[in-house]
Copies of this chain bind each other. A is one copy, B any other.
């Protein structure tokens, strides 16, 4: 006896209800599924029987012949990361309102896991995909998704060579503004730190795995260059996950860097701790700015100046777009870019000396 959750009981099916209501299976299904034409009397009788038997429709069987599962798959780097928590919530609310549920998978920013996630979602026949792609430059793991013909919307980062909708923040402008602030305060030796992985030293023009970080680095080096700082690329420190933010910050301090731009709030947090442990005062000795208005940034001493992103809205808008595509909107691919907003606090000061 399949479809049996290990315990004795069998699930009640349309046939059971039909028998109880003394109508055909087809009629019962119509009454229950609210489609086709059924007389009011019969419909009530069937509904009553269903209620009485404790009938719960099997959405899977429905999916089998409608081809729609009413679920969308969402692949995030790590749901524990507040950024993804917020984006997921935004997406979940929109999805729910449109009658969809979320199947959540973590990629740990790793292509293999991402491909795996896509494959699982494909097998579960989700109606669409919401993905924060692990790699902008090598989006091979996403191919099965686009080939499936089911809509895919990327959020937080774009992917090269994929004609799909994207929803991101304006990281280039945000990075420029943040760097300008530092430069205007008089800084010349400013470092950019990100956990993104990269082979060898960063050189101008290198494409990074995350389009967001890529844009941030681009904005950062551009402003530095315009300010006449030679070799701005030398101040870009990647691979912070592998090398450790702590170690990077320590060497930065040794090298006499006077300001740090953290690519995300987690990096900023680690940097903040290290500077504090080192007895380096923010902003007197070193200025610190970051992306994302994480809660701690307004509570710490000093409070951190940040570039805030409408994270919740990015997730929600991505879901809105996806839902529209699922509904059959064949409009040209969209690339939404949300503005970031600067929140000035107390972590910037002129360089010491």
Contact = CB atoms under 8 A, between A and B. Distances in A.
B65 A92 contact: no
Q: How many copies does the complex hold?
A: 2
Interface of A: 2-9, 54, 56-61, 63-67, 69, 71, 78-82, 84-86, 88-89, 92-93, 96, 101-106, 119-120, 122-125, 127, 144, 147-150, 269, 272-273, 294-296, 298-301, 312, 326, 328
Ordered nearest first, which 3 A-B pairs have the shortest CB separation? A301-B301, A296-B296, A59-B123
A62 B112 CA distance: 25
A123 B150 CA distance: 22
B124 A101 contact: yes
B71 A125 contact: no
A64 B71 contact: no
Nearest to A327: B6
B149 A7 contact: yes
B149 A9 contact: yes
Given A9-B149, A104-B102, A64 B56 contact: no
A299 to B, nearest CB: 4
A311 to B, nearest CB: 9
Contacts of A104: 88, 92, 101-104
